[in-house]
Structure 1
Amino acid sequence: MLQVCLNGSRSWEHCPGLPVTAAELADAARAAVAAGADDIHLHPKDPDGADTLDPGIVAETLTAVRAAVQGIPIGVTTGAWTVSDPVRRAGMIRSWTVTPDHASVNWHEDGADLVAGALKDKGIAIEAGIYSGTDASTRFLTSPYADQVLRVLAEVTDTDPQTAPRTARELLGRLTPHVTAPILLHGEDGGAWPVLRTAAQHGLPTRIGLEDVLHTPDGTPAHDNATLVRLALSSNRHAPA
């Protein structure tokens, strides 16, 4: 599986072509799926470009993207930067009138179980975000939701292209003996492409998109998400077994 992460917590200043509005995200999703993505992760944003869990904006964004890519699963963030108080964050999730197919929960953040419970109560599948360099794996493996997630997102925060693959393997070593859900492995910035190749070598689902990386494997600035998807699929086909 190749998930496309359309925008993340980046802003226009990071990437002038970043999809932010509902219409832009719908267009970006359509192009990425046409390029070969089969799952979508996105961050709904307010008029100032900040990530939000606001029910109206979430509904508008999901409705537009679903119309553009019918039948493709769509997920959103629940990161603590959207609403710092996990009680408020869970309350906003419970107030959603249009729900995503899945949503990511970062297990290094306080209140992860509370947020996961709100998602489960709404019938939204949970992606468990496990960041390298944090205690997320320990927290997750002792969580009551550890065996109730759609997948685990093994998120390599090491951005050094030389060391990121080793960090990825170390993270997998902490997870694979214990988790039953599929593991999606991905990196970010300088580590994104090396970790994507590591995922291919291990036969794991992965993801790519402007949330994770703004350049192609040769260092050229990425034009859009669809370009990154095409390059990721090409890279995976040529990855050594």
Structure 2
Amino acid sequence: MRIVACLNGDRRPGAHPALPVSADQLAADARAVVAAGATWLHVHPRDSRGGQALEPQVVTPLLAKLRAAVPGVPISVTTGLSAEPDPWRRYDLVQRWGALPDAATVDLAEPGAVEVARLLADRQVALEARLGTVQAARILTASGLADAFAYVLIGPAEPTVAQALETVTAVEAVLDRAGVALPRLLHGREQTAWPLLDTAIAADRDIRIGLEDTLLAPDGQEAEDNAGLVSQALARIAAHA
């Protein structure tokens, strides 16, 4: 089971006292979450003003700091349009990456996602197919690229647990009918984060947790930091076992 710590996401700086934004903050947080039990990292690179950025001059030094902080731990980077709204500029920026992450998430519901996936596959970056909707799952199965992906990340956006679980079931049905047997990670956001994490544990799926997905601990109180969230996720795995 992969245990992915999603450190910051598209949260605005200051959304939580412990939200890591700068490269130094992300490196320090990486050390803490790995010490807590995380086996993978997922980050949204930030520029000097704290905004999301995919420019090579942002991505390259961030990867260097993270790899120095946690040698050997796989690092996944977003390619979402939240980081670069213009799909053609996004493609150009990713094409110009000198240092490459170990993995990259590609939201197949976004314009230009298939082209970015092909680019990264050609550059031998492990691909995570982010499927938040049934339509995204259908795009994956129809694209002819399923074999190029290493992982599936199912992250429904619905605000209630019942609706989110309906989407998870529908997405998995599309994948099963198409014979897509890739490892699957389930995750929620905000109020669905912990229920979907528990669902993933029960189904022996990969999991992820971090301030990208929720600012709250399982008891509804504000989370201390990313390492605390990872520790609580590990405790839930142990309790299930």
Question: TM tier, shorter chain?
Answer: over 0.9
Is structure 2 residue 194 aligned with structure 1 residue 193?
yes
Aligned residue in 2 for 1:219: 220
Aligned residue in 1 for 2:231: 230
Aligned residue in 2 for 1:143: 143
Structure 1 runs, 4 residues or longer, greater than 4 Å off: none
**DSSP 3-state at the match of 1:176:** helix
Aligned residue in 2 for 1:17: 18
TM-score, reference length from structure 1: 0.94
CA separation in 2, counterparts of 1:236 and 1:171?
24
Task: After TM superposition, give the deviation of residue 192 of structure 1 in Å.
Answer: 0.4
Task: After TM superposition, give the deviation of residue 158 of structure 1 in Å.
Answer: 2.1
**DSSP 3-state at the match of 2:130:** strand
Aligned residue in 2 for 1:184: 185
Is structure 2 residue 207 aligned with structure 1 residue 206?
yes
Task: After TM superposition, give the deviation of residue 143 of structure 1 in Å.
Answer: 1.0
**Per-residue deviation, residues 151-209 of structure 1 (Å, max 9, x unmatched):** 01011212324543344333323323431211111111100000000001111111000
CA separation in 1, counterparts of 2:187 and 2:176?
15
Distance 1:176 1:233, change over 3 A: farther
| 8 A Cα contact 1:147 1:180, kept in partner | no
Aligned residue in 1 for 2:42: 41
Task: After TM superposition, give the deviation of residue 118 of structure 1 in Å.
Answer: 1.6
Which amino acid is the alignment partner of residue 169 of structure 2? R
For these two proteins, the number of residue pairs brought into alignment is: 239
Pairwise CA RMSD of aligned residues?
1.5
Distance 1:164 1:237, change over 3 A: farther
Which amino acid is the alignment partner of residue 237 of structure 2? N
**DSSP 3-state at the match of 1:142:** helix
CA separation in 2, counterparts of 1:176 and 1:69?
35
Which amino acid is the alignment partner of residue 132 of structure 2? Y
Aligned residue in 1 for 2:119: 118
Q: For structure 1, which runs of at least 5 residues remain unmatched after alignment?
A: none
